[in-house]
Amino acid sequence: MGNFAVLPPIYADKPIELAPAKIITSFPINTFLENLAIAAAGYSYAPDGTIFVTNHEVGEIVRISPDGNQQIHATVEGKVSGLAFTTNGGLVATGWNADSIPVVSLVANDGTVETLLTLPDAIFLNGITPLSDTQYLTADSYRGAIWLIDIAQRRGSIWLEDPILARSNSENVTPAANGLKRFGDFLYVSNTEKMLLLRIPIDAANQPGEPEIFVEQTNIDDFAFDVEGNLYGATHIYNSVIRIAKDGSTTIIAQAEAGVIGSTAVAFGQGESDRTAIYVVTNGGMFLPPPTGVVPANVVRLEVGKAGYPNFRF
């Protein structure tokens, strides 16, 4: 088992129902693909199904066609982590600038990058998801907080700060609050360092209620929901993709053999031909290499048979 033996066997007794898998495209070894967003119909510069991927360490956003053709769409001076669409088809991205200060960037349709705001009080901005048509929530993995980003007012403020979003040990480099997505009237957040999936009620004014633990002993990076409320999560160092049902039960749907070593994020296809598929991005095991060593970073398509929950539903 090599390095896998050091990991708690949290998925050892989980059922396995492998989804049909296909590697769409690959990147060189030691490429850290961190997040992705997939274009829906109506974006003239990006046909249905265009995949936008963050290449974290080099600050690139790469545009990938459904057949796997890669093209650099935008470059951020620094590092780029989370990615989400704006209502006009642009992108909003989290990361650090060249001075290692947390930053939120806007990427226009032509790939032009503009700094929306810097957040010196933040530490590690990670996953990002829409809350309204101009407001986004982004996880701060090291501060143990969720920031509210208003792209119209160019302002950032703390939406929720809570010990349950933080690391149990500030010396641990593993991100705490990491991926986040809304389903219905709840925001779901993965705390990777504590191996928790959290659920936070959202009221009519889009304010948070008290966070609660939804699933314990699960190692989730970023994730996506289908229309029925099943969550599809990238397990990163566990080199798999899991499905968590609404009752909290877990099923493994992809393993290392499918090409998902170092899986970091998941998103649903948006075209007619891939609406019931998810795409998974990976880093090839950079954080915890498999016995074979780090492998190329992949974009993998998994057929899951359900359509995705819309990014915008307000």
**DSSP string of 177-211?**
EEEEEEETTEEEEEETTTTEEEEEEB-TTS-B---
Tell me what pLDDT residue 259 has. 98
Tell me what percent of the residues of the chain surpass a pLDDT of 70: 95
Whether the predicted pLDDT of 257 surpasses 60 = yes
The architecture in CATH of the region 18-303 reads 6 Propeller (2.120)
- Whole-angstrom distance, CA of residue 230 vs CA of residue 250: 10
Whether the predicted pLDDT of 314 surpasses 50 = no
Sorted by where each begins, the domain ranges of the chain are 18-303
Whether the predicted pLDDT of 24 surpasses 70 = yes
* Higher per-residue pLDDT: 258 or 292: 258
Whether the predicted pLDDT of 3 surpasses 50 = no
Q: Which of 45-59, 61-75, 101-115, 195-209 has the lowest mean pLDDT?
A: 45-59
257-261 long-range Cβ contacts below 8 angstroms, 24+ apart: 258/18, 258/21, 258/300, 258/302, 259/21, 259/23, 259/298, 259/300, 260/21, 260/234, 260/298, 260/300, 261/285, 261/290, 261/295, 261/298
